[in-house]
Structure 1
Amino acid sequence: MARIVFVGAGNVELVRRVLSDLFLASSLRGRLEVVLHDDDPAHLATAEALVRALDAEAGSAAVVTACPDRRRALDSADFVISYVDRGGFTASLRDFEIPRRYGLRQTIGDTIGVGGIFRGLRAIPFFVELGREMAELCPDAWLLSCSDPMAMIGWAVEEATTFERFAGVCHAVCDTHAYLADLVGRDLDEVTFLSAGLNHQSFVLRFEAGGRSLYPELDALLAADPDLGRHVRTEMYRRFGHFPTQSSEHAAEYVPWFMRHAEETERLGVQMEEYLRRLGQDMHAYEETRRALSAGRPQLIRWQHQEPAAAAILATLTGREKEVYVNVRNRGLIGNLPEDCCVEVPATVDATGIHPRPVGDLPIQLVALHRTFLNVVELTVRAVLDGDRRHVHHAAMLDPNTAATLPLPAIEAMCDELIDAHGELLPEAIRR
């Protein structure tokens, strides 16, 4: 029986998506033990009620346990799926409100940028501790992390722990592949894709059918429909030659050319502070789940693109080979990016585990974008692992959107105010 542990089970939508895929797989009936952990007792109770309802609806005969003790939950795990947002809505609100007073605009704020830096400062210590516990309690398990900022978390876990089976999983690549295939009128299985880079900044390197590139067809569509071209990701595609896998709301704040120019964000339809709206939707969805459970309404999701974490688990448990995009330590997978960084690449998953595939060198213009991105990632990781508050300032000073908007004294003052506002959510060495 495979032991699947959810750390941060209060994210009931993630739990629902993953377990809908697994519970509906007839080959896994009676083979799954699901262990739920969350620090919030109310959220844990909701997650348990949801999973028991999913199990009953699917007839999957799973063993379901809610476990407030994280170490006990992790003991002998085969897979650990994590989604943790330390500080929740209140912390994210600070990440937007304080920079806004300094004149800095953000959209999502979960990857790089000032919001991504402070989300990383809150998340990295948690995941380093989790990695150390897994090295002790379940060293052969896979940690399938769904948490942002993924590139920071993966780098820190690999460097600061002896745990080696970290794989960040994200929707962005597979969603973009489905979007592009639909755009050119092809079924997804007709198209050959290869994408790679960094989480939330990967690019589609191959977009082909029948051995020929489909990029000319995409170019024709963009030329024929001006509205289709009015997005940040299409602006990036036109100038860098490869389509980005992340949404325009994300991509806009990783570069210096959009966010400080109101006319550009209006032209390209970039929504300011979009992440706060999404958090509100998540809170509404959680309450809707509670109401649906009370009313006994069906909970399974039967039609969806397969959840990446579920796809990896299914391939491992059934032995049916599957391609899944993962975020792992580079170790030469992308030849012209640093060995230590966490890269996003395709992996072959089968009964023997997750096997990331080498991609080779990326086009130099994409590597240049990635180096800028990695400056912020590495300095944030170093701020936590070295306990050096100065690197928080350095990360923000080198962030493209922040650097394009604010002078150095304002950047430093803003970071200090955020450090004070977040208080005990941040490592003690940074608070000093």
Structure 2
Amino acid sequence: MSRPIPRRFRGAPEPTGFKTKNPRFKFNFTFPFSLKIPAYIALGVIAVVALIYFTGGRTEASPAMEEIGIQEFELRCRLRGEIRQHESLYIALTNAGMTPRLVHNINRALDGVFDPRKILPGDKYTVDIDENGGLVEFELMRSPWEHYRIKLDGDSLVGFQDSKPLTFVIRAAKGEVKSTLWESMVKEGVPAEAILRFTDILSFNVDFLTETRDGQRFALLYEQNFFDGKPIGVGRVIAAEYWISDTSYGGIYYMDPDSTAGYYTLDGRNTKKALLRTPLTYRRISSHFTRSRYHPILKIYRPHLGVDYAAPEGTPVSASGSGVITYAGWKGGYGNFIEIRHENNIITQYGHLRNFARGIRKGVRVSQGQLIGYVGTTGLSTGPHLDYRVKVKGEFVNPLKFAFPDGPPVKSQYMSDFRGKAVEYLALLRALTDEDLLVDSE
């Protein structure tokens, strides 16, 4: 009985080469160039392949074979590949010929070890499959130092992180804004990644797109990672501080013994709010929150209970806060529309989207800052923008002025530990920058 031909090879032209006349076994071998070899060598190759075929890919060494060092071996199929743009791990592996069931087993073994949703273009993988189509080993290589593996342990697949340790040094920087914050921080030698993390930490209290002015000051303490003696990126920002006139905004990184991590002020308040100040990077506000606005298409006055952020089509839009999607689809004049229900009786709405991000649909839980869609001009719209609206306890509020609640503070039982670490970090930052640091937020 012949083995079934894999689905992806059915209908393919049959290659030319050496063939046996036995209908149970066909061996095709094609050379890319003309080559004459003795018949006894060809028959020897065919005999070896036939042995592997009829023994199911496994063979035991005979006494004669053992004398010349040939041991028992197992035949495996190895797949190597790289994640392409817009590919998920599932799509990449199934496109490589793996069955959906096998890919499901890989995802299940990675549960709690690596989130497949964080896969990125350029990540590489290796898959070893036995002669029965079962998974023997899987490796995901995200960088020379970050690896994840799955191995067969008895009848179970076990996933684990197999990463190499990084070393890091702590660096500090301070400066004064001249022209733009980005240019000023780059001038002080701050890496781009650290600048982005700095602004992200403070973005709940400072709108760096509209509130940055010359003369404002900044200071930060951050980790510079190294691998094999070479800098490879930025680790955590340990402390961040920004001054607007005499008002200080800042945060200190802290992870408690329960592994809850975040950025906090000296009195233990979370620097995060329930919602982001803005869910996208925008160029300008084209329409503000108002009870009476002249609609440019309908030519009538009516309430505009949100804020319109003008931005190029395709600009990423993020979830303002963690929650559950209650609507994702077409909604009349709003075009492509998303609604998210958050804690504290808060609802956010996102209108005129070009399209939705992968996996965004009703009932899906999203995290604060997670990509949900892209700026568009669908529905009643005169140009690309995001119509962003917020409801609190059933009433629309102005998202630019409403005081949203803080995130969870440092747990009371860990305040002493937090204060001790905060004092150490601030002392180090002060020593490196000579700044009078407060790390408080109003």
| TM-score class normalised by the smaller sequence | under 0.3
Q: Give the TM-score normalised by structure 2.
A: 0.20
Greater relative contact order (CA < 8 Å, ≥ 6 in sequence): 1
Higher helix share: 1
TM-score (norm 1): 0.20
- Greater gyration radius: 2
> Which has the larger share of strand?
2
